[in-house]
Amino acid sequence: GQYGGGCYVDIMNNDSREYEIKCKVKHSAEPKGGTTLRVWDYDDDWEVSEPALEMGTWEELRVVMSGSKKYRSRVHIQVQEGYEGDVFIDCVEITVLGRNKLAQAANRLEEAAKHDIIDDVPSVDLDVIGAHNLPLLHNGKPCNPYVEVLLNDEVVGTSEQLKKTFDPVWNYHVKLSFLEKGPMSEVQIRVLQDDGELVGETHVEGHVLLRPPSNILWLGIERAEDEDKEEDA
């Protein structure tokens, strides 16, 4: 037909990656029309390199193609009809470049969708300002209090510890994301002292914190030892 002769090899590339296929050729006589590297995907598509047109000089042929729609592709090195001479072939290389453009675009859309989902998660900035009238320790001295914030029974933040005070001011900030249970999440604020002993705690539901605009809430703390008495926090 159109081609005077050549050689080919089949490669397995039925995936969504890009492939670079290269080789070097040298002609013993002046080529007529040149020698090309042609890759067929066993369907309707051909990828064709620029022709090698020199005599007695090694020239590189190169194509880049996506993985085949079929189970393989066929790599041809072909001369034009009418060429009389030898074609020397060397350095045939097939390199995987990575995902093709369609697969890369799909990956970017997938990542963007993940970020959109995350951006839609209800969240709130919680500031634990302080507490008032904390109880005495057993020895009659004030405690060294700090705060733990829990979201659905999981600790998500811990404040600094203050020394010997009944009225601590922490100004502790933590961001809460209600990913799992949304507005039905439960936030627990616990006041503890030196050895992790619980001084008191309070609870608030997520939907209360999500009400616009920003709110300042005074919540009663249930004492660990005596739940009938309450302090303000």
Query: What per-residue confidence (pLDDT) applies to 184?
Result: 79
Note whether 206 and 183 are within 8 A (CB): yes
Q: What are phi and psi of 206, to 5 degrees?
A: -60, -40
Query: What per-residue confidence (pLDDT) applies to 1?
Result: 40
Task: Kindly report the number of other CB atoms within 10 A of residue 79's CB atom.
Answer: 24
Predicted confidence pLDDT, tens digits, the chain (233 residues): 445 567 778 877 767 788 899 999 999 998 888 899 998 888 778 889 999 999 999 999 999 888 776 778 888 898 888 888 899 999 889 888 877 666 667 777 776 665 554 456 678 888 999 998 888 777 777 889 999 999 999 999 999 999 989 899 999 999 888 776 677 788 999 999 887 888 889 988 888 887 766 667 788 888 766 544 445 55
3-state helix, strand, coil in the chain (%, to 5): 10, 45, 40
Domains along the sequence of the chain with CATH:
3-103 (2.60.120.260), 123-232 (2.60.40.150)
CA pair distance 128, 126, nearest whole angstrom: 6
Query: What per-residue confidence (pLDDT) applies to 230?
Result: 46
CA angle 136, 141, 145 (to 5 degrees): 65
Query: What per-residue confidence (pLDDT) applies to 116?
Result: 52
Encoded tokens for 174:
């933590």
Nearest to 73 by CA among 46, 98, 50: 46
Tokens 């080529």, residue?
31
CA pair distance 43, 51, nearest whole angstrom: 23
Encoded tokens for 5:
């002769």
Encoded tokens for 91:
């350095």
Task: Kindly report the number of other CB atoms within 10 A of residue 183's CB atom.
Answer: 13
